[in-house]
C-alpha cells in the first residue's frame, strides 16, 4: 500500500468506512482526504464553539487519543497535557477526586455508560463545575476498549442550583424552628417540603410514593383527598379563591378518639401570579375545643340554674313569666284561648313546723311529680316560690274543660302522700284566670301580670271557701 493510501486509511478508519483501497484512483483518494479533513475541521469548530470539551481515551494504552482545543479555553490546559488517566484525575477538585475516579473505573469495568457531576480545577486554580458524559466503545467481544466523553461547563447552572438549595435549606431551617407542623403542598396534593415537627411523626410509616407523599396520606392516613363538612380540603379552597383560609379538621386517632386540628393555609404564587400550591400550618386545638365545650356546658348549667327551681327542676318565676307572655302572644296569633292555674298547697306550713324543712322539701318534690302526672305535653308547670305553683294550659276550648283539669289536680290529694315513711295529708287551692281570644283584644306587656294577679286573688278566694277547691277569677 502506498504512503498516500496509508494516510487516507489512517484518516478514515475512525469512521469505520470500508474502502477498497486498491480500486481508488489518485483523484478519488485526494477527494476522500479533503472530505475527511473538512469533516474533522467542522467537528473541531463545533467542539471549540460549545462550552465543553470533547475527548477520546484508549483504555489499553491508558492515554488520551483526542482532546478538543476548547480545553485550553475552558481549563487553561492544552490538549497535549491530557496524557493519561492520572493527568485527568489531577485536574479534578481534591474533594471530588477519589469519588469520581472510583465511580468511573467501576462503571467502565461493568460496561456501563455513565454521567458524572464534579468540580475541576483550572490551571490558574479557579474551580468550575463539569457535567461529564462518558460512552464506552467496545470491541466485537463487548469489552470496553475506548471511552468517548464530553465535558460541559455547568458552573453557572450549578451556582443557580446551589443558590436554590441554599434558599431551600434556609427555608427548611425556618420551618423547623416552628413547633407547629408545617407543609408546603403542591396543587397535585404532593408535599414539597415539611418541617421536623411532621417528620418526627412519620417515622415508621410507609407511603405509595415515599419521595413525594400526599398531604392526605400524611395527615389523615387515607388515599383520597379530604372532603365534606367534617374535613374540608384547604388546598382546594385556596386554589379556587386564591385567598388564605382556616379550617377545622378532626384527625381521629387509632382508638377512635377526637383529635382536633386547625389548619391555616396561605396561597403560593408563581411569577405569573398563578396559584400553584399552599403553605399549611397545623395547630393542635384539642385544649381549646375541650375548654370551649366545658365553657358551653357551664354556660348551659348557669342558664338552667338561672331559669329553673333548684329543688324540683321546674321553671322558676323568671322563666314562667317569659313562657307565659309567649303563650299569650301565640294565643293572640292563632286565635285561641288559654288558662292559668295559680296553686297553693294547704297545710304545708304544718309539715315544715312539725317535721322540719328537709321533710318539707321532700314533700314538695313528691307533689311536683303528682302535678306533672296531670299536665299535658303542651302545658307549662312552674314553681313560683315556697309551695306556690302555676300551670299554663294552652288551646282551651271552654271553662268546662278547664274545670275537669282542675279537678284532676284536686283528686291527686284524696289519698295521703307517703314521703320518707310519713303519711302526709295535703290538699291544694287553685285560682284560675282565662285569656279568651277576641278581635277586640289589644295585647300589652301588662296582660300577663294582670292574669297572674287575677289567678292569685282567685286562689285566695278558694282558700277562704274551705280550701281544696278551685275558683275562677271574676
Q: Please indicate, yes or no, whether residues 460 and 321 belong to a single structural domain of this protein.
A: yes
Distance CA 464, CA 470 (A): 11
Q: Please indicate, yes or no, whether residues 465 and 343 belong to a single structural domain of this protein.
A: yes
H helix intervals, 387-471: 399-411, 447-464
CATH of the domain at 78: 3.30.450.20
Q: Please indicate, yes or no, whether residues 245 and 319 belong to a single structural domain of this protein.
A: no
In this structure, which long-range contacts are made by residues 12-15, counting pairs with CB atoms below 8 Å and at least 24 apart in sequence? 12/36
Q: Please indicate, yes or no, whether residues 329 and 437 belong to a single structural domain of this protein.
A: yes
- pLDDT higher than 80, residue 27: no
Contact 122, 76 (CB under 8 A): yes
Against a cut of 0.75, is the pTM above it?
Answer: no
Q: Please indicate, yes or no, whether residues 111 and 223 belong to a single structural domain of this protein.
A: no
Boundaries of domain holding 167: 161-287
Lowest average pLDDT, out of 144-148, 258-262, 333-337, goes to 258-262
- Domain total of the chain: 3
The string of DSSP letters for 161-214 reads HHHHHHHHHHHHHHHHT-SS-EEEEETTSBEEEE-HHHHGGGTT---SSTTS-B
**Residue 418: inside a domain:** yes
**Residue 217: inside a domain:** yes
Q: Please indicate, yes or no, whether residues 112 and 227 belong to a single structural domain of this protein.
A: no
- pLDDT higher than 90, residue 452: yes
Q: Please indicate, yes or no, whether residues 38 and 83 belong to a single structural domain of this protein.
A: yes
Q: Please indicate, yes or no, whether residues 316 and 465 belong to a single structural domain of this protein.
A: yes
pLDDT at residue number 8 = 41
Which residue in 441, 367, 434, 371 sits closest to 401, CA to CA?
Answer: 434
In tens, the pLDDT along 338-374 reads 999 999 999 898 988 889 989 999 999 999 999 999 9
Q: Please indicate, yes or no, whether residues 104 and 189 belong to a single structural domain of this protein.
A: no
Contact 1, 21 (CB under 8 A): yes
Q: Which residue has the higher pLDDT, 464 or 259?
A: 464
- pLDDT higher than 60, residue 26: no
**Residue 297: inside a domain:** no
Distance CA 59, CA 51 (A): 26
Q: How far is CA 360 from CA 15, 310, 364, 424, 468, in A?
A: 121, 14, 6, 10, 19
Q: How far is CA 418 from CA 181, 204, 339, 415, 423, in A?
A: 65, 68, 31, 9, 5
Q: Please indicate, yes or no, whether residues 149 and 196 belong to a single structural domain of this protein.
A: no
In tens, the pLDDT along 31-64 reads 554 555 455 555 555 555 557 899 999 999 999 9
Q: Please indicate, yes or no, whether residues 338 and 268 belong to a single structural domain of this protein.
A: no
Q: Please indicate, yes or no, whether residues 347 and 276 belong to a single structural domain of this protein.
A: no
Please provide residue 190's backbone torsions phi and psi, each rounded to the nearest 5 degrees: -75, 145
Alpha-carbon Rg for the chain in angstroms: 49
In tens, the pLDDT along 368-419 reads 999 999 998 899 999 999 999 999 999 898 899 999 999 999 999 999 989 8
When pLDDT is averaged across residues 314-327 and rounded to a whole number, the result is 94
Distance CA 184, CA 176 (A): 13
Last residue within a domain, chosen from 113, 130, 154:
154
pLDDT at residue number 291 = 87
**Residue 352: inside a domain:** yes
CATH of the domain at 367: 3.30.70.270
User: Please, what is the average pLDDT of the chain?
Assistant: 85
Contact 309, 368 (CB under 8 A): no
**Residue 295: inside a domain:** no
Contact 323, 386 (CB under 8 A): no
Q: In this prediction, what percent of the chain has a pLDDT beyond 70?
A: 88
For Cα atoms 416, 417, 420, give the angle at the middle one, nearest 5 degrees. Answer: 135
Up-side HSE of residue 420: CA atoms within 13 Å toward CB?
Answer: 12
- pLDDT higher than 70, residue 21: no
The string of DSSP letters for 362-398 reads HHHHHHHHHHHHH--TT-EEEEEETTEEEEEEES---
**Residue 303: inside a domain:** no
Amino acid at each position: 500500500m502506498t504512503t498516500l493510501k496509508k494516510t487516507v486509511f489512517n484518516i478514515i478508519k475512525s469512521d469505520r468506512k470500508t474502502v477498497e483501497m486498491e480500486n481508488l484512483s489518485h483523484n478519488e483518494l485526494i477527494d476522500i482526504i479533503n472530505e475527511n479533513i473538512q469533516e474533522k475541521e467542522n467537528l473541531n469548530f463545533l467542539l471549540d464553539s460549545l462550552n465543553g470539551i470533547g475527548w477520546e481515551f484508549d483504555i489499553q494504552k491508558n492515554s488520551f487519543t483526542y482532546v478538543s482545543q476548547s480545553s485550553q479555553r475552558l481549563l487553561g490546559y492544552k490538549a497535549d497535557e491530557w496524557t493519561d488517566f492520572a493527568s485527568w484525575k489531577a485536574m479534578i477538585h481534591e474533594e471530588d477526586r477519589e469519588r469520581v475516579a472510583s465511580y468511573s473505573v467501576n462503571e467502565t469495568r461493568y460496561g456501563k455508560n455513565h454521567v458524572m457531576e464534579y468540580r475541576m480545577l483550572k490551571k490558574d486554580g479557579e474551580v468550575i463545575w463539569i457535567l461529564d458524559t462518558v460512552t464506552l466503545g467496545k470491541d466485537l467481544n463487548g469489552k470496553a476498549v475506548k471511552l468517548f466523553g464530553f465535558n460541559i461547563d455547568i458552573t453557572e447552572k450549578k451556582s443557580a442550583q446551589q443558590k436554590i438549595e441554599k434558599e431551600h435549606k434556609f427555608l427548611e431551617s425556618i420551618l423547623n424552628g416552628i413547633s407547629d407542623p408545617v407543609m408546603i403542598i403542591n396543587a397535585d396534593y404532593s408535599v414539597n417540603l415539611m418541617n421536623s415537627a411532621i417528620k418526627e411523626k412519620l417515622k415508621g410509616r410507609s407511603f405509595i410514593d415515599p419521595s413525594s407523599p400526599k398531604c392526605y396520606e400524611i395527615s389523615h392516613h387515607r388515599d383520597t383527598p379530604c372532603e365534606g363538612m367534617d374535613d374540608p380540603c384547604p388546598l382546594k379552597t385556596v386554589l379556587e379563591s386564591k385567598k388564605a383560609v382556616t379550617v377545622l379538621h378532626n384527625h381521629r386517632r387509632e382508638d377512635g378518639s377526637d383529635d382536633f386540628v386547625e389548619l391555616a393555609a396561605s396561597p403560593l404564587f408563581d411569577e405569573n401570579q398563578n396559584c400553584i400550591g399552599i403553605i399549611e400550618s397545623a395547630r393542635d386545638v384539642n385544649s381549646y375545643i375541650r375548654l370551649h365545650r366545658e365553657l358551653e356546658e357551664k354556660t348551659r348549667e348557669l342558664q338552667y340554674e338561672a331559669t329553673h327551681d333548684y329543688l324540683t327542676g321546674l321553671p322558676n318565676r323568671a322563666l314562667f313569666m317569659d313562657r307565659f307572655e309567649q303563650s299569650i302572644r301565640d294565643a293572640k296569633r292563632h286565635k285561641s284561648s288559654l288558662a292559668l292555674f295559680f296553686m297553693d298547697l294547704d297545710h304545708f306550713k304544718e309539715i315544715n313546723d312539725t317535721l322540719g324543712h328537709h321533710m318539707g322539701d321532700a314533700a314538695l318534690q313528691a307533689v311536683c311529680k303528682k302535678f306533672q302526672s296531670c299536665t299535658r305535653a303542651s302545658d307549662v308547670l312552674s314553681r313560683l316560690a315556697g309551695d306556690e305553683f302555676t300551670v299554663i294550659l294552652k288551646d282551651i276550648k271552654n271553662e268546662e274543660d278547664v274545670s275537669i283539669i282542675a279537678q284532676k289536680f284536686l283528686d291527686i290529694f284524696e289519698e295521703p302522700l307517703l314521703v320518707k315513711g310519713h303519711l302526709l295529708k295535703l290538699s291544694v287551692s287553685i285560682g284560675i284566670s282565662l285569656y279568651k281570644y277576641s278581635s277586640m283584644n289589644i295585647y300589652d306587656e301588662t296582660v300577663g301580670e294582670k292574669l297572674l294577679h287575677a289567678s292569685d286573688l282567685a286562689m285566695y278566694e278558694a282558700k277562704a271557701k274551705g280550701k281544696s277547691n278551685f275558683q275562677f277569677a271574676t
